[in-house]
Amino acid sequence: MRLQGKVALISGAASGVEGQLMGFGGAAARMFCREGAKVVLGDINVEHGELTAQQIRADGGDAVFVRLDVTSEPDWIDAVAATIAAYGKLDVLVNNAGTGARYTVEETTEDAWDGQIDVHAKGTFLGTKHAIPEMLKQGGGSIVNISSIYGIVGSPTSTAYHAAKGASRLFTKAAAMQYAADNIRVNSIHPGYCHTPLTTRSYDNERHFAWIQERIPIGRVGNADDIAYGIVFLASDESSFMTGSELVIDGGTTAQ
């Protein structure tokens, strides 16, 4: 019960349906509840979000779902308000919502660029902005931003994704410095190559998947639970001396 008594809001958390391939947010929501937290799941996928929350409750967890488009400030205001209405406080925010765009510089359209920046950079900013006032009221909290190893290193594609994840990485450090004295910790997680609903299509390409596997010293791609364990750690009091940090979970990929 490492998160006993804590209330968390997790964006991009609809991908936690039992029996289906899970994403980081869905896996984290399930793990948070097993560790004693009460969780608000936010996502634009209402069907899967409601089902995930329903299944968590059936398993004995305490969770509710809210529709949340992370690029919309009114949606964030409503999601935070719904969290307070349901549970009375907000201890943990996980900015997890994400999309992919595997294009080179020349292939990247303006719309693709804006879409990546909006979801990963603007979404992280808006969530943090509206969570902080509630955390200040109770004397602290933990914000976990899901960046990527592609926010640290480059690749042959994914131009806008790199830029957006790099933005969330540096935004994390800025927010961490601004609110450290208020006991609000802000850290980023940098997943490596993981099999999730977001990567299924590209991983189905055998040549691309072989290219990925060659780059992972530990010998396998990650899964959603591999990252969720890191999210739980940063959300818990076990990481109380960490802020502005980058937790890389990548099977050794960026160590080479």
- What tens digit of pLDDT does each residue of 206-241 get? 888 899 999 999 999 999 999 999 999 999 999 999
Residue 107 has pLDDT above 90, yes or no: yes
pLDDT at residue number 145:
98
Q: What is the DSSP letter of 188?
A: E
pLDDT at residue number 15:
94
As a whole number, mean pLDDT of residues 38-57 equals 97
pLDDT band at 54 (very low <50, low <70, confident <90, very high): very high
Q: What is the DSSP letter of 119?
A: I
pLDDT band at 186 (very low <50, low <70, confident <90, very high): very high
Closest CA to 148 of 200, 201, 108, 95: 95
Percent of the chain with pLDDT over 90: 92
Least confident segment among 29-33, 87-91, 103-107, 206-210: 206-210
Query: Which residues have CB under 8 Å from 244's CB, separation 6+?
Result: 172, 173, 176, 177, 180, 186, 187
As a whole number, mean pLDDT of residues 72-92 equals 98
**Catalytic: which of 161, 193, 203, 229?**
161
Q: Are 165 and 236 in contact (CB under 8 A)?
A: no
Please give the CATH architecture assigned to the domain spanning 7-244: 3-Layer(aba) Sandwich (3.40)
Structural element, H or E, at residue 8:
strand 7-11
Specify whether 229 is catalytic: no
Q: What is this structure's pTM?
A: 0.95
Residue 109 has pLDDT above 90, yes or no: yes
Residue 143 has pLDDT above 90, yes or no: yes
As a whole number, mean pLDDT of residues 134-144 equals 97
Residue 199 has pLDDT above 90, yes or no: no
User: What sign does the CA torsion over 47, 52, 58, 61 have?
Assistant: negative
pLDDT at residue number 202:
79
